[in-house]
Amino acid sequence: METRAGDPGAFAHFDLNRVPSPAFVVDAAAVRRNLAILKDVRDRGGIRMLAALKAFSMWSLGPTVASYLDGVCASGLYEARLGREEYGGEVATYCAGYKAQDLPEICALSDHLIFNSPGQHARFRPILDRARADGHSFDVGLRINPQHSEGDVAKYDPCQPHSRLGFPIGQLRPEHLEGIDGIHFHSLCEQDFVPLGRTWAAVEPSLKQHFGTLKWLNFGGGHHITRADYQREELIAFLQHVRAETGLDIYLEPGEAVALDAGILVGELLDVIDNDMPVAITDISATCHMPDVIEAPYRPAMLHERVGDPDAPLVRLGGPSCLAGDIIGDFALPVRPEPGQRIAFLDQAHYSMVKTNTFNGVPLPAIWLWDSETDELREVRRFDYADFKSRLS
């Protein structure tokens, strides 16, 4: 995979030595700009817009998100709790597989509770009935699999063959929608409007007969709405059309779009060796700090990389862990590769921050919040040995 973002924005002028290494630095002004775009789409499209916590859950910005959007979508109990505690508005919870012991609390926290299959919904109906008898009010949704593939990479495609995500639309029958208030589908990944239009064309004929019994449609996430080349006017017209055609409330759940190009990961070169090419060890680990570099895989964009400069030799960057595959990639560094030099990778606020781990005892990056409009910089969180030890036994 290739990153579709990587605009340095105000980070082009940020002094990397202002923060410790390693550290995530998130630009609050960039987040606000993204949220303003999403709010404009929401308002003009006449829809509801939820921020996906699975991609970006920097809850210190919860009030900021709440001032622009309608709430959050969660992937289980913990995210639902975070959404209710730190963000305003609605909480929509979807999980591929719920545990019975978690559902009473999820019912109490959620405005929308979305199931992955009619069988799971039927199995847990008694728990839902008890929650409502206890005074909790929530809608129930069903995630469908459109059986229409738009994903560029199979393992990130929710509509891949034998997918576990969503009930195959070809199997949907009227009895499956008894007690269901809304339909949810999520089939995109870092994509623009055109694949959404094709997906709707594929599912609309099967859903049309059910519009009269439903309250809402949720088109999930994967929409790169804040990317510069996204067709936002076409999206707005589409949303207006679907809302008028169906008479239903429409939801979108952007995740990456909230924090696109809004954060960097700052690191430092620890050592440089020669092994038929320059090889540098950094305090940034692909395995621990940017696991998608290995899992996707993809090559992250580097701040000020000297792309195309024949005088800038490629340097292989790798993390400090013992994993042989802890390799970030080959880069034309903006600085001479020497111990102590700082580097930064772009567009790391989403997914990287929520996926960090402490394999090998590698320290977690600190989290800093910067406002490029005021130049205010503050540390939000610093991690230490206690954070590593507390995850073990």
Q: Is the pLDDT of residue 5 over 70?
A: no
Helix, strand, coil percent values for the chain (each to nearest 5): 35, 25, 40
Q: Is the pLDDT of residue 155 over 90?
A: no
Q: Judge residue 304's burial from the number of C-beta atoms within 10 Å of its C-beta, 0-12 exposed, 13-18 middle, 19 or more buried.
A: middle
Q: CA dist 65 to 8, 31, 296, Å?
A: 22, 9, 28
pTM for this model (two decimals): 0.96
Q: What is the per-residue pLDDT for 3?
A: 64
Res. 203 pLDDT band, cuts 50 70 90:
very high
Q: Which fold has domain 9-25+262-389?
A: Lyase, Ornithine Decarboxylase; Chain A, domain 1 (2.40.37)
More confident residue, 86 or 6: 86
Q: What is the per-residue pLDDT for 152?
A: 80
Q: Is the pLDDT of residue 337 over 90?
A: yes
Task: State mean pLDDT over 317-333.
Answer: 97
Instruction: Give SS3 for 94.
Output: strand
Q: What is the per-residue pLDDT for 153?
A: 83
Contact 269, 341 (CB under 8 A): yes
The residues that bridge with 316 in the sheet, in sequence order, are 279, 330
Contact 85, 287 (CB under 8 A): no
Q: Is the pLDDT of residue 311 over 90?
A: no
Res. 308 pLDDT band, cuts 50 70 90:
confident
Q: Which two tokens stand for residue 191?
A: 């994509």
> Domain locations in the chain?
9-25+262-389, 46-259
Task: State mean pLDDT over 23-35.
Answer: 98
What is the tens place of the pLDDT at every residue in 221-235? 999 999 999 999 999
Q: What is the per-residue pLDDT for 68?
A: 98
End-to-end, the C-alpha distance of the chain in Å comes to 37
Task: State the CATH class of domain 46-259.
Answer: alpha beta
Mean pLDDT of the chain: 96
Q: What is the per-residue pLDDT for 29?
A: 98
What is the tens place of the pLDDT at every residue in 67-81? 999 999 999 999 999
Res. 156 pLDDT band, cuts 50 70 90:
confident
Of the candidates 203, 75, 108, 105, the one whose C-alpha atom is nearest the C-alpha of residue 149 is: 203
Res. 370 pLDDT band, cuts 50 70 90:
very high
Task: State mean pLDDT over 193-209.
Answer: 96
Q: Is the pLDDT of residue 236 over 70?
A: yes
Tell me which residue has tokens 């997918």: 163
Write the secondary structure of 316-360 as one string of H (helix), E (strand) and C (coil): EEECCCCCCCCEEEEEECCCCCCCCCEEEEECCCCCHHHHCCCHH
